[in-house]
Structure formats: structure tokens, C-alpha cells
């Protein structure tokens, strides 16, 4: 897919990053002189964080071309994303420049956070091609995008747009009707106005208000919205009970929002002073880095639970395939997330076993140990693991794991995982003994015939490969020798010439 | 500390659970006949989730006594927590029953979410003892508590209350002034009213509104509040720039909140129908379990990053000590979090290495490899790890890790971790070879003298203990023998008699 990015501020650049890192070619245009530099800066932040959401590598990045003219950027694009300043006249004049160069069947999407699409379409020659696709910052990590059309929008178009958005890992929310601010920003605006009153009235500082959010209901909002949260407050009696119980408090003037505070110099000064104190001298770049790493950590935490944004990432991840060749099977290819880095500045030792565990799962799943097989009462348990840490792995590095089946017959399966960096360096070997078990009795038993056959077949095929260096070696023996007589042991040598992790 | 819980609904029971699991004795009272059963149900949910937030075991639980009279519950208590229904007259009559039995110096805290403390104090004999301590559901996991006094509150009391709250892992927010709804609920109320309008006007369904939150700004709110988020939108120019840019939109009627929707039968019916569809037939108990597991996952994700609620848990965790005796040193004692459980229903293999990694850190830190030592340019990297999985570990189980230093002299340190369940079962052994390194060159070097001496001393002391069974054993050797000649190998035997993990 060919994508045009019109306007390369924080939002436009975030879109560019998402499309590029998902393998699409991007042509970008922005009249500001520093636009290309800013775009590269955002792209760098996206590269440092987005791949870390996934336990599989994203496809090879698309090509970025920064264009001198709007026409050049738009020509031949399947998707044109406009992210200009929030003024209707600016956007309308851009659309006039875009439309003559648009391909038949292409979609023109506006990132506007506030202007309804019928106003955007008003002067268009092809209003039926224009929709709103409103994202949230940072676009390269937060999955929500609000898709809004009008009465002239063909009914298939929002659905097609939603599918394209899912293809780059977004979670599209197709709205039935247009309204100023759409959904997300109306809710944020309600909070924002109330917080302004609190600061103005001296009820709380900006830091206290933020604490009240992130130590309290903010935790709930990352995984359950307003209605699901209140449903729980209603208990087993359900939502009607909750509404009956708490409905009457709507009559109380509980929020200040029957009025809007004047943003006079005094209030601006107070907010600015408090906000400066709260940020403790951290730069915006430092705060953005912290935010991105926190987002990766939060979304990764939700992923195995299929909750909230984690569900969106999981849905995207299963579309990413593992490329195979005639060598030993690739059982993992992935980028090291920043959240896996420890005090020594490299991937912590436990995550080598996490990667190996996923690689073992991938291999046995291909041999028939699927979710249904496990639900049917059989699985593999690991009995023993031996890791040799041979090279450090840093955040953002890509590794490929290939797995050799050393023994596949019967109840016990002996696997040897090799972790390779993109430059061919062997980063680690993980040797595991897994046992086929009956999940009811938790005891070892023979695999069902199709699984047994598949594992045996792999053992036979992999016997053609050389036996791995380092398999079947004891830690203590090698190391005791190395520490006593030095330099004579291969393990001792590798200790001096290689790099390890903790 | 002795705690009285007056009112044992969802909030009161949540308080009871937090105090009990942090080692305080609790006396509870509630006139409802099913109150004790409900309290036990909440306590069970708390036991299944709260300990999983920490990487150290909480102290032994306090004793719970369910009392027949209010007087019995309050007598001798240092902290009385009232969580009665939100009606002023009910609370005032309870205070009249509580006050005569309160100890000098004790604190009377109300969980009210809406009634200001000056109204609560109005009929009290000792209004200076009463404050609001308003928590968020579920109290046993969400750390925020809003502490609110009045003009008659001695200035030391909110600070003393805050310290008690920190002692049970809460994050206290001491408010300077009282206001209806305090901070958190005023903000939630603003969102709530706006969402009601959206449903009433047919803009979005309850499910769409929840999606707009949890796939979008909800992710930001778990780690950064409203002001910090908008500060980033302003860029390097800071908050004043943001206010100048977005201030004018305050004049737009962007939210509906100049009015309140009537909760008539039609709107109640619509919300209830949509909410039922959204929850997909899940029971409240199922939803609560998912919520609790998500909260544990989110807070644990934020903990190593010292962000949001993770910072509160970390601050509490460092207060938890590891008990020692004359046996091998205890390097970890912890409960298995639900988030560590895999498709086989037990702790995933990678987390054994995570626990061992933390245990190695604890041991070397005691030998002088502190954060300052690492900042000074030296640390340990792990070169090799050998895990034997001997017993399954389930969510909620407590394990103790004891570490034997097999070799401590020079650059290489050979550790042997034993994972014991509370019944004495050996759940795993993890043998590791760690190497002392120069962090600048990433090469092996000798430890500084005080660290070298401490490690040598441990090796000498631990030589008195029997050498561990299973140390220095190769995976492949033992297993190849076992799979060929069966039953003769010790490793083969343990494969049949024990349980493993994956």
C-alpha cells in the first residue's frame, strides 16, 4: 500500500511511523522547513517502542520519501492522511490541492480532533472519499482511531478504512453519527474543564489532580471503561440497580461544569507554575520516552490477558508470520522491548527463557500441540533448562531463534534453541527437556499418535544437522575446571571472549 | 495495630482485607445478616490478588474477628474505618455509637465518597478525631486514598493518617480543602455525565464509549495524569504554550455539561440493554476476577518503571524484610502472582529464572554489589543457568529461596538456588554461574576488595552445608541415559515421580 502523509507534526509523523513500521511505503509533505527533521525524530521514538509491543517481528519497514510538493506526495497513494493545524480554512485549501491528484478508490482521511466531517467535505469535489480518522497521541503506540463519515459516505468506506487501520495495528471505532470532539475528546474535555476549576479554586494542585487520576481511576480506565466499571459497582443486580442507586446524585451540583472558567493571566500563571514544579525539570523528550516505555509496559501487561489495548496488539500479532527456509525451523523472530532491559543495560536473563518458552510452544504447536489439543487434556511441561548467555542483547535488537530437535521419540523431547542476532552472532543457546503430560493426572504419558509422529519426523530431519556445540554440558563441571586450571576449558575460554547477561 | 471496620460492604470489606493482609488485627461489625459471608468473599479475592503485586512476601496476616456489637469492634482500636451507606443521618448515628468506645489518640476515618467532613463532624463530641479517608474500588488493589480534614482537624492528624495508609500500601493524597466528591470522583462524575448524554443522544453505545476510553486515553491515564499529558501536547514550550493554543476551544460548547440528562425510564432502559450486551453474559464475579488480574498486571508492569501505582507498590515493597535464620541465607520469599500462570495452569518456566535472578541480586547486593556499586561501573553478568523444574507452582503459593555459594573466590561466582514451598517440597533448583564485569569494557574483572571478601566468606561458611544434589549435572547426558536404558538414572526417576513446568 502507498500512503501519503500531509502535515508532519506530532500526529502526522506518528501516522507515518505506524505505516512505515508496518511495511507500507510513505510519501510525506509538510511546508515547514524543519518538518523532515521532526518527522525523523518521531520515527526514531516509534522505532524504539512500537516493535517492542509484539512478540513477533514486524514486516520489513516501508520506504519513506519526503516530497517537495503536495502533488508528488499524493500521486498514486491509496490512503492520504491529512494532519494539518486545526483550522477549517487551512484544511479546505489542502483538500483542494489534494483532490486533483488522488487515485480512484483512494481514501482521504483527516486527523482532525474537533471538526466534523460534513464541514470538511463542504467544498470537496469528491466529498464521498473524505472521512475523519482521528487518532490519539502517540499515534505509533495508542491503538484507538475514531472513524467518522457523513450521509454522503458510501456505507462500505468506513468498513474498508477500518480494515486498513487494523492492518497497521490500530483499533478502529466506527461512529454512527458525527459530533464535535467525537467520543474520546469530549470525555477528556469534560475532565479538563473540571480540573481547571479545581486549580482555579485552590482545591488541588496540578500534581495532586494527576495523582488522583493515575493512582486511582486511571488504573481502571486502562482496562475497563466507565460503564463496565460502574456495572461492577452495581453488583449482581446489574446496571439498572446502579442507575437507581446513584441516579439521584445527578441532581447534586457535583461538578463545576455548568460554567467554564476564564483562562485569565492569573489562572494561566498558576497552572504553568504548578506544572513546571510537577515535571521536576524533566525535558519533554525525557517525559515522552518515559511515557512510551510505560505504554509498552502497560500494553504488554494486558496482552496475555486479551484485555483492552493488549487485545488489539494480540489481534495484530497473529497476522505476523514467521518466515521459513530450508535451514532449521525458525521458531521465533522478534525485537527486544525496552521493558526487558535491566540495571546492567541489557536484556535480563529471565527473558531468554521467556523467548525459549515461546519458541518451544511454536515448535510443538506445529507438531499438533495446539490450544485445542491442550484443552483436550494433554500438553508439554519443561523438566530442565540449560541456558548459555553468549552475547548481550540490547533494546530494539532483532533476534531469530532456530530450533533443533535432538530427541523426539516417545514421552521426552529434547530441544536445542539457538538465538542469532541479525549479524549472525550466536547470542545464546537454550537446551530444554520437555515432557509430554496428561493434564488431569499431571503425569508423563505418550503423545497422541499425530504429535508423536510429527516430533519423530523432526528428529530424523534434524539429525542431518551437526550436533550443537554446548549441548549436554554441565555447568558446574566445566566451570570448576575453568576456575581451577584456567584457559584449558572451552567454557572458560568463552567466558573471557564473550558477553553475558543478568 | 488494632483496626475496627464498621460496615462490611464492598468498600469496608476491601479495607479489612488490606489491613489484614498487611499484618494488622481487624474487628469487623455490620448489622446485615449476610455481612460476614460477603466479607469473607472479598477477603478471598484480595488474597488471590494483592500479594501478587509484590516481589516479597507480605507479613503474616492479622487476625479477623467478626463482632456482635459495634462497641466490641471499636473498643481498643487505633483506627476505626466507617464504610456505611452514603446517608449523613446513618453515618451520624453510627458515630454516636462509636465515639464513647474510642481510645484516646485513635483516628475515626470515613470512607464517604461524597459527604464533606465538616458535615460528618457536626454532631461529634470529638470532631477533631474524624477525617475522611476515601478509597477507590477495589480497595485492596487500587492505592489511592483521599485524606480530608476540616478547620478543627489538628494539623498533625492527616500526616499521621497518611503514614498509617502508606504502611498498608496506600498512596495518600492529603487535600488542603474539603469539597463535595473530593478530587477523583468529581472527575469521574464529569465523564459520567458526558457519557450519559452520548447514550441518550444515540451518538455511541456504552460499549463504544468504553472502547474509546480503554483503547485510547485510558492507557495514558494509568501512568500520566491530565496535566502531564497536556504538557506533552504543548511540546518544549511548556504548559503556557499549550494553554495559549487550546484555551480558545474552551469557548466552544464541546461538552454537553451545561445541563444534566434526565434519567428517565427510556434512558435507563437503553443503558441497561447496551450494558448487558456489552458484558456478554459474564457474571459480576467473573468480571471482578478479570479486573483484579488486569490490575495486578498493570501495576506490576509499572513497578520496575517506578511509574504511577507501580511507584506506590515499590515504596511499600522495600519496607518488607526477608527473615533470616541460621540456615543458608533466604534470598527471596514471595507469592506467585496470577499473571505468571500459563496455559498449563502453573507458573511459566521463565519466571523461575526471574525469581532466581532477583535472588542472585539480593545475595550479591548483601555482598556490596549495590546500586551505587553498579553506578560506579561494576556488576555481575550471568554466563550460564541450569534449571531443574521439580514441582509445579500455582498462583497464590508462597515460596522461599535459599542460596548456597558453591564458589565465591575470584571473578566467577557459582550459586545454587533452592526453591522451597511452605510444606518443605523442593520446587526447583537453579544453578547459576555469574561473572564480575567492568561495565565500561563489558569484560570480566576481579571484584573490588570488599565484594571479593564478602563472597569468599560466604563460600567458606556455605562449605559446611552438604553439596547440592543436582549441581554440576548436564541435561543431555542424564536424559539420554534415561531415555535409552530407563529407570536406572536418578534424573529419569525424578521425571516420573515429580512435576514440571512450562
For CA atoms A457, A463, A469, A474, give the dihedral sign.
positive
3-state secondary structure of B198: helix
Please check whether residues B274 and B247 belong to one and the same domain.
yes
Question: What does the pLDDT read at residue B472?
Answer: 78
- What CATH number is associated with residue A112? 3.40.50.720
Please check whether residues A91 and A160 belong to one and the same domain.
yes
> Which candidate from A209, A247, A276 shows the least CB-CB separation from B238?
A276
Residue A172 in this model has a pLDDT that exceeds 90: yes
Please check whether residues B202 and B172 belong to one and the same domain.
no
Gap between the Cα atoms of B84 and B69, Å rounded: 15
Question: What does the pLDDT read at residue A344?
Answer: 95
Gap between the Cα atoms of B416 and B419, Å rounded: 10
What is the pLDDT averaged over residues A412-419?
Answer: 97
Chain B: residue whose CA lies nearest to A389? B383
3-state secondary structure of A118: helix
Kindly state whether residue A321 falls inside one of the protein's structural domains: no
pTM of the full structure: 0.88
What is the pLDDT averaged over residues A289-313?
Answer: 90
Residue A426 β-bridge partners: A420
Kindly state whether residue B10 falls inside one of the protein's structural domains: yes
Question: What does the pLDDT read at residue B337?
Answer: 95
Residues of A in contact with B452 (CB under 8 A): none
Please check whether residues B172 and B196 belong to one and the same domain.
no
Question: What does the pLDDT read at residue A475?
Answer: 66
User: Per residue of chain B (502 residues), what is the pLDDT tens digit?
Assistant: 999 999 999 999 999 999 999 999 999 999 999 999 999 999 999 999 999 999 999 999 999 999 999 999 999 999 999 999 989 999 999 999 999 999 999 999 999 998 999 999 999 999 999 999 999 999 999 999 999 999 999 999 999 999 999 999 999 999 989 988 899 988 988 888 888 888 888 888 888 999 999 899 999 898 888 888 888 877 777 777 778 777 666 666 555 555 556 767 777 777 788 888 877 878 888 888 888 999 999 999 999 988 888 988 999 998 888 888 889 999 999 999 999 999 999 999 999 999 999 999 999 999 999 999 999 999 999 999 999 999 999 999 999 999 999 999 999 999 999 999 999 999 999 999 999 999 999 999 999 999 999 999 999 999 999 888 878 777 644 333 333 333 323 333 333 333 344 4
Going through A7-78 in order, the beta strands assigned E by DSSP cover 25-29, 64-66
Kindly state whether residue B294 falls inside one of the protein's structural domains: no
Please check whether residues B25 and B133 belong to one and the same domain.
yes
Residue found by looking up cell 510429527 in the block: A454
Residues of A in contact with B260 (CB under 8 A): 250-251
Gap between the Cα atoms of B385 and B357, Å rounded: 10
> Do B433 and B427 touch, CB atoms closer than 8 A?
no
What is the pLDDT averaged over residues A24-51?
Answer: 95
Chain B: residue whose CA lies nearest to A266? B240
Please check whether residues A171 and A201 belong to one and the same domain.
no
Kindly state whether residue A388 falls inside one of the protein's structural domains: yes
Gap between the Cα atoms of B375 and A344, Å rounded: 10
Minimal C-alpha gap between A153 and chain B (Å) = 17
Kindly state whether residue A360 falls inside one of the protein's structural domains: yes
Gap between the Cα atoms of A47 and A44, Å rounded: 5
In total, the C-beta contacts within 8 angstroms joining chain A to chain B are 586
Question: What does the pLDDT read at residue A257?
Answer: 55
Question: What does the pLDDT read at residue A479?
Answer: 36
Helices first, then strands: H and E counts in chain A: 19, 14
Q: Is B20 part of the contact surface with chain A (CB cutoff 8 Å)?
A: no
Residues of A in contact with B259 (CB under 8 A): 258
Last residue of a domain, one of B160, B182, B204: B182
Q: Do A222 and B221 touch (CB under 8 A)?
A: yes
Q: How many domains does chain B have?
A: 3
Residue A493 in this model has a pLDDT that exceeds 60: no
Kindly state whether residue A317 falls inside one of the protein's structural domains: no
Kindly state whether residue B41 falls inside one of the protein's structural domains: yes
Gap between the Cα atoms of B436 and A289, Å rounded: 31
Kindly state whether residue B263 falls inside one of the protein's structural domains: yes
Q: How many CA atoms lie within 13 A of A240 on its CB side?
A: 10
pLDDT in tens, A424-454: 999 999 999 999 999 999 999 999 999 999 9
Gap between the Cα atoms of A46 and A19, Å rounded: 11
Cell of A8: 508532519
Residue-by-residue DSSP string for B287-331: HHHHHHHHHHHHHHHHTTTT-HHHHHHHHHHTT------SSSPEE
Last residue of a domain, one of B281, B298, B313: B281
User: Between residues 74 and 133 of chain A, which touch chain B (CB distance below 8 Å)?
Assistant: 114
Gap between the Cα atoms of B128 and B150, Å rounded: 8
Please check whether residues A26 and A170 belong to one and the same domain.
yes
User: Between residues 165 and 224 of chain A, which touch chain B (CB distance below 8 Å)?
Assistant: 171, 173, 175-177, 179-196, 198, 201-204, 206-224
Gap between the Cα atoms of B191 and A472, Å rounded: 61
Query: Where on the phi/psi map is residue B421: left (φ > 0), alpha (ψ -120 to 50), or beta?
Result: beta
Last residue of a domain, one of A158, A182, A206: A182
Cα B158 to Cα A297, A480, B184, distances in angstroms: 34, 59, 18
User: Within 10 A of B269 (CB to CB), how many other CB atoms are there?
Assistant: 12
Q: Tell which of B356, B384, B413 to mutate to test the A interface (max A CBs under 10 Å).
A: B384
Q: Is A41 part of the contact surface with chain B (CB cutoff 8 Å)?
A: no
Please check whether residues B96 and B223 belong to one and the same domain.
no
Cell of A34: 524543519
Query: Where on the phi/psi map is residue B489: left (φ > 0), alpha (ψ -120 to 50), or beta?
Result: beta
Cell of B343: 496455559
Determine the distance from the C-alpha atom of residue A96 to the mean position of all C-alpha atoms in its chain, rounded to a whole number: 35
> Do B223 and B309 touch, CB atoms closer than 8 A?
no
Range list of H helices, A201-253: 206-212, 218-221, 226-234, 239-246
Please check whether residues A108 and A205 belong to one and the same domain.
no
Question: What does the pLDDT read at residue A490?
Answer: 31
Q: Do B194 and A212 touch (CB under 8 A)?
A: no
Residues of B in contact with A389 (CB under 8 A): 381-385
pLDDT in tens, A56-108: 999 999 999 999 999 999 999 999 999 999 899 999 999 999 999 999 999 99
> Which candidate from A171, A173, A223 shows the least CB-CB separation from B298?
A223
Q: Do B219 and A295 touch (CB under 8 A)?
A: yes
Gap between the Cα atoms of A408 and A404, Å rounded: 10
Q: Tell which of B255, B444, B468 to mutate to test the A interface (max A CBs under 10 Å).
A: B255
Q: Do B218 and A221 touch (CB under 8 A)?
A: yes
Question: What does the pLDDT read at residue A296?
Answer: 92
Please check whether residues B217 and B123 belong to one and the same domain.
no
Gap between the Cα atoms of A491 and B266, Å rounded: 75
Q: Tell which of B199, B383, B498 to mutate to test the A interface (max A CBs under 10 Å).
A: B383
Q: Is A232 part of the contact surface with chain B (CB cutoff 8 Å)?
A: yes
Minimal C-alpha gap between A99 and chain B (Å) = 29
Gap between the Cα atoms of A59 and B155, Å rounded: 60
- What CATH number is associated with residue B481? 3.10.129.10
ipTM: 0.87
Question: What does the pLDDT read at residue A223?
Answer: 85
Q: Do B501 and A290 touch (CB under 8 A)?
A: no
3-state secondary structure of A5: strand
> Do B29 and B67 touch, CB atoms closer than 8 A?
yes
Range list of H helices, B169-262: 184-200, 206-212, 218-221, 226-234, 239-246
Please check whether residues B75 and B201 belong to one and the same domain.
no
Please check whether residues A19 and A104 belong to one and the same domain.
yes
Structural domain containing residue A208: 196-281
Q: Is A412 part of the contact surface with chain B (CB cutoff 8 Å)?
A: yes
Q: Which residues of A214-235 are buried (b: 16+ CB within 10 A; e: fewer)?
A: bbbbbbbbbbbbbbbbbbbebe
- What CATH number is associated with residue A219? 1.10.1040.10
Amino acid at each position: 500500500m502507498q500512503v501519503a502523509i500531509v502535515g508532519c507534526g506530532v500526529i502526522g509523523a506518528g501516522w507515518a511511523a505506524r505505516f512505515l513500521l508496518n511495511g507500507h511505503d510513505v510519501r510525506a509533505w509538510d511546508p515547514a522547513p524543519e518538518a523532515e527533521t521532526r518527522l525523523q525524530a518521531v520515527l526514531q521514538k516509534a522505532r524504539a517502542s512500537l516493535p517492542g509491543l509484539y512478540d513477533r517481528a514486524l514486516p520489513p519497514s516501508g520506504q519513506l520519501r519526503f516530497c517537495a510538493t503536495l502533488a508528488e506526495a499524493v500521486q498514486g497513494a491509496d490512503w492520504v492522511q491529512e494532519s494539518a493545524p486545526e483550522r477549517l480554512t487551512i484544511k479546505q485549501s489542502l483538500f483542494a490541492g489534494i483532490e486533483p491528484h488522488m487515485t480512484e478508490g483512494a481514501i482521504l482521511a483527516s486527523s482532525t480532533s474537533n471538526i466534523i466531517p460534513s464541514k470538511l467535505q463542504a467544498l470537496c469535489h469528491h466529498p464521498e472519499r473524505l472521512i475523519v480518522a482521528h487518532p490519539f497521541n502517540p499515534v505509533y503506540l495508542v491503538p484507538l482511531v475514531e472513524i467518522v463519515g457523513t450521509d454522503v459516505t458510501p456505507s462500505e468506506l468506513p468498513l474498508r478504512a477500518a480494515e486498513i487501520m487494523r492492518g497497521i495495528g490500530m483499533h478502529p471505532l466506527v461512529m454512527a453519527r458525527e459530533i464535535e470532539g467525537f467520543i474520546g475528546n469530549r470525555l477528556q474535555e469534560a475532565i479538563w474543564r473540571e480540573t481547571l476549576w479545581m486549580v482555579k479554586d485552590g482545591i488541588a494542585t496540578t500534581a495532586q489532580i494527576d495523582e488522583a487520576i493515575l493512582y486511582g481511576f486511571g488504573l481502571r480506565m486502562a482496562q475497563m471503561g466507565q460503564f463496565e466499571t460502574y456495572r461492577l459497582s452495581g453488583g449482581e443486580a446489574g446496571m439498572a440497580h446502579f442507575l437507581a442507586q446513584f441516579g439521584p446524585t445527578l441532581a447534586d451540583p457535583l461538578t463545576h461544569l455548568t460554567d467554564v472558567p476564564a483562562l485569565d493571566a492569573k489562572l494561566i500563571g498558576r497552572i504553568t507554575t504548578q506544572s513546571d514544579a510537577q515535571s521536576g525539570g524533566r525535558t519533554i523528550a525525557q517525559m515522552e520516552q518515559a511515557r512510551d516505555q510505560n505504554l509498552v509496559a502497560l500494553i504488554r501487561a494486558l496482552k496475555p490477558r486479551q484485555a483492552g489495548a493488549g487485545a488489539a496488539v494480540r489481534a495484530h500479532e497473529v497476522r505476523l508470520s514467521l518466515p521459513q527456509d530450508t535451514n532449521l525451523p525458525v521458531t521465533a523472530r522478534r525485537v527486544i522491548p525496552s521493558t526487558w532491559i535491566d540495571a546492567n543495560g541489557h536484556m535480563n536473563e529471565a527473558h531468554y527463557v521467556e523467548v525459549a518458552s515461546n519458541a518451544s510452544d511454536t515448535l510443538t504447536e506445529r507438531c499438533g500441540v495446539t490450544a485445542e489439543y491442550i484443552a483436550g487434556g494433554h500438553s508439554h511441561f519443561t523438566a530442565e533448562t540449560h541456558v548459555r548467555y553468549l552475547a548481550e542483547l540490547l533494546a530494539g535488537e532483532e533476534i531469530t531463534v532456530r530450533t533443533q530437535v535432538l530427541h523426539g521419540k516417545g514421552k521426552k523431547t529434547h530441544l536445542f534453541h539457538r538465538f542469532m542476532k541479525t549479524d549472525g552472532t550466536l547470542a545464546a543457546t537454550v537446551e530444554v527437556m520437555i515432557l509430554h503430560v496428561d493434564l488431569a493426572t499431571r503425569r508423563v504419558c505418550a503423545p497422541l499418535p499425530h504429535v508423536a509422529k510429527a516430533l519423530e519426523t523432526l528428529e530424523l530431519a534434524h539429525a542431518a544437522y551437526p550436533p550443537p556445540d554446548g549441548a549436554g554440558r554441565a555447568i558446574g563441571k566445566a566451570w570448576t575446571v575453568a576456575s581451577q586450571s584456567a584457559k584449558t576449558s572451552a567454557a572458560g575460554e568463552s567466558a573471557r571472549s564473550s558477553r553475558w547477561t543478568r
